[in-house]
Amino acid sequence: MPRRTSREHSPAAWPLFAAMSVDALGTGLYVPLSLLYFLHTTDIGLPLIGTLVSVATALTLPVPLLAGRAADRFGARPVVITGQLVQAAGFFLYLQVSGPVSLMIAVLVEGIGARVYWSSVFTLIAELADADTTGRAKEWWFARASMIRAAGMGAGGMAAGAALAWESTRAYHLLILVNGVSFTVAGLLVRSLVRVGPAVRTHPPRTATETEAAAEAGARTEPLGAGHRALLRDRPYLQLILANTAFAVCSTFLTIALPVYVTKGLGVDDWVVGPLLAVNTVLLATTPALVSRFVRRHMTRVRTMALSGLCWTLWCAGSAVALLLPHAALPAFLLLVLLCYTAGELIHEPASNSLAASAAPPSARGFYLAAFQYSFTVGTIVSPVLFTVLFSRRAELPWIVVGGIALLGTALMLPLERRLPYAAVTGEEYVPAGEVKVTAQEAD
């Protein structure tokens, strides 16, 4: 008699999410004081601090591909643990910083740990999703990871803000110490409690067209260690990375552009920015699972990502139009426009991570996902320059350009519905013979 997949929660789910919450809390604590800590605890000038941090960050750029290859060879779990413990070591080194050299070393160690962690944690989530015997889709895992990260970083940011109000060197040292401890605890949680079982999901056969496309790309049949050759010939996946790079610019643009645009471009009071960002944070921390479940039942992952691009296009158009509205109407209008951004963010992250993980060949998934994460790195680098250069010319120009980038991402996504693997596009879950397939509705 066929064995039906269990509806019990996977044993590996809550330990990973607990570790991610601790990790996100530590990240939230760090971001507000990434430069202020050195400014208040050393005699180094701000320009030199900024230069050293930028150089150290640039030196970590090759790390993700090495981490991805390690995840393919040894599994993602030990690489995630390594990343968290290296981050902890970096923060403990922060406490010993006394000059430019020690600052450079501390930031470099912490940066390497962060790159290793973020380049492997999504592979670990995908491995756990593949071993999940409940039939839950990858979106279930990635949506909850998104919620936990948003909630943890928000809580950490608020805690850091409260502590920084003391303007005490002791408070800065305490926050860094807590940060180091939090990453240590997160690594120990993963080591002690997270277990990755054998995969129970399999990719279904492709159509003839898809098989021919894969053969033409020369991908998905490479042996372990040849991930870079497979990726360079896998044109559909490279197109996915390019499309997601466009979306990453949109995703990272809010926190860069909104405060300056609202206060300087529109002349709105400073107090408006805080509530707008708070609404976005609360929605991102509480609703991804609900929104992802609804969207997954009605469209493919490719169309979901394309829809996120349209949401960001509406956000950019509305932000530009705000220049034409009366001052009194701006707070309410900006809130309405912000909801377009939030909608795009809510549906993009679970779908994009799930699609990237499912479309990668199993033997090189770590390398593929590490390369996919570079799209967010590019977005983080490009957004500040893009906004500052364009805003200095005309206030509406950044929104016109980024809206065009969002449309470009949507245009790049739609052809992938027929070029990427069927199971990756649709998100349908397959289990081995002898088990009964669980539908999307049952998996939720």
Cα angle: 201, vertex 194, 85; to 5 degrees = 125
Spell out the SS3 assignment of the chain. CCEECCCCCCCCHHHHHHHHHHHHHHHHHHHHHCCHHHHHHCCCCHHHHHHHHHHHHHHCCCHHHHHHHHHHHHCHHHHHHHHHHHHHHHHHHHCCCCCHHHHHHHHHHHHHHHHHHHHHHHHHHHHHHHCCCCCCCHHHHHHHHHHHHHHHHHHHHHHHHHHHCCCCHHHHHHHHHHHHHHHHHHHHHHHHHCCCCCCCCCCCCCCHHHHHHHHHHCCCCCCCCCHHHHHHHCHHHHHHHHHHHHHHHHHHHHHHHHHHHHHHHCCCCHHHHHHHHHHHHHHHHHCHHHHHHHHHCCCCHHHHHHHHHHHHHHHHHHHHHHHHCCHHHHHHHHHHHHHHHHHHHHHHHHHHHHHHHHHCCHHHHHHHHHHHHHHHHHHHHHHHHHHHHHHCCCCCHHHHHHHHHHHHHHHHHHHHHCCCCHHHHHCCCCCCCCEECCCHHHHC
Task: Note the pTM of the prediction, 2 decimals.
Answer: 0.81
Q: Which pLDDT score, from 0 to 100, does residue 272 have?
A: 87
Kindly give the residue spans of alpha helices, DSSP state H, lying in 62-99.
63-74, 76-94
pLDDT in tens, the chain (444 residues): 333 344 444 545 777 888 888 888 877 777 667 777 888 888 888 888 888 888 888 899 999 999 999 999 999 999 999 999 999 999 999 999 999 999 999 999 999 999 999 889 988 988 888 777 665 667 888 888 888 888 887 777 777 766 666 767 888 888 889 889 989 999 999 998 888 766 544 444 444 344 344 433 444 444 444 567 888 899 999 999 999 999 999 998 998 898 889 988 999 888 888 889 889 989 998 898 889 888 888 899 999 999 999 999 999 999 999 999 999 999 999 999 999 999 999 999 999 999 999 999 988 999 999 999 999 888 888 888 899 899 989 999 999 999 999 999 999 999 999 999 988 998 775 444 444 444 444 444
147, 285 Cβ separation under 8 angstroms: yes
Structure tokens at 49: 């601090």
